[in-house]
Structure 1
Amino acid sequence: MADSQGLGTITNDDTTTNAPLTLTGDANNNILVGGSANDTLIGLGGKDTLTGGLGADKFRFNSSFDGMDTITDFSRTQGDKIELFGTGFNSLVWTDGVSNTLASTVFSMGASANSWTNSIIYNNSSGIVYFDPDALGSGSQIALAQLSPGLNLTNQDFIVSW
């Protein structure tokens, strides 16, 4: 439920079930908080705040036009992933048909794409993840998510699905 500023909070208390949950926001600026299981958080529209909690969580982006979300606790050691889902990301490829891990040729670390194939960029200094549908083309890159700086993300931290 949203307040007068368009903020809504969905919090999971899975202390008794430890069951994985899928928490989905709406067009407002939502706050989604997972629990101790392997949760999936989907902010949808708005500038959402996503907290996975413990477990190997997935932070799903259905479109590059949903607004930049903030992921407060992305953890490579816990196995968290950023999931790029749907036709909004159909220009991306994965490394195999099993894990759907983002191909290394599509990922770069820096302020912008550094080759014609880079579509997902992680700025290690700012912590922002960008989608650039035309890589070195004339189109602009789109900020998807704000993470902590210095995470040293790789293509292995992203999965592509539809």
Structure 2
Amino acid sequence: RREVGGAGADSFVLSAPRSGIDRIQDFNKEQGDKLIVDLDVFPGLRTGRLLPNQFVKGTQALDQNDRFVYNERNGALFYDVDGKGGVGQVQIATLVGNPDLAATDIFAVASPF
């Protein structure tokens, strides 16, 4: 699924793990852009802004708290249900242009459905 933002703040809703890789274009945190994940399909999170210890930059989770792994070199964003446990991480998005991304840019919400 391809998502393109415009001028101003955009919210990009990420698909469930294993349902494809979202392609996010025009992500710009300086404009207030954010990534949105559904608590029902991304377990292990709490409502609101992602906790700093649930996000790591690199290629793999470093401990059991890491849920999102962002590869700054190629823009690949992964979800890891158990951090550095027995279940492997799954790529959920590619951020085109490898923009800067931090835990503060990811929000977990309860599904309205």
Contact 1:124/1:149 (CA < 8 Å) preserved in 2?
no
Which of residues 68, 71, 80 in structure 1 aligns to 2:21? 68
Distance 1:119 1:125 in 2: 19
Correspondence for 2:55: 107
The CA deviation at 1:61 is 2.1
Q: Structure 1 residue 93: deviation in Å?
A: 2.7
**% of aligned pairs identical?**
29
Structure number with greater Rg is: 1
Alignment of 1:13-162 (within 5 A): 48-94=1-47, 100-162=48-110
> Cα distance, 1:90 vs. partner?
2.6
Kept after mapping to 2: 8 A contact 1:63/1:86: no
> Does the 8 Å contact 2:54/2:65 carry over to 1?
yes
Instruction: Report Cα offsets for 1:54-112 as digits up to 9, x if no partner.
Output: 12111112521321011111111111101011311131135xxxxx1100011111001
Higher relative contact order (CA 8 A, sep 6+): 2
Give ranges in structure 2 of 5+ residues lacking alignment. none
Unpaired segments ≥5 residues, structure 1: 1-47, 95-99
Query: What secondary structure, in the 3-state scheme, does the structure 1 residue paired with 2:30 have?
Result: coil
4+ residue segments displaced more than 6 Å: none
1:22-66 Cα deviation digits (max 9, x unpaired) = xxxxxxxxxxxxxxxxxxxxxxxxxx1110111211111252132
Distance 1:62 1:50 in 2: 11
AA of the residue aligned to 1:56? A
Match of 2:76, as an amino acid? I
Count of residue correspondences: 110
**One-letter code aligned to 1:80:** D
Cα distance between partner residues in 1 of 2:3 and 2:98:
19
Q: Which amino acid aligns with 2:104?
A: Q
Cα distance in 2 for residues equivalent to 1:118 and 1:149: 23
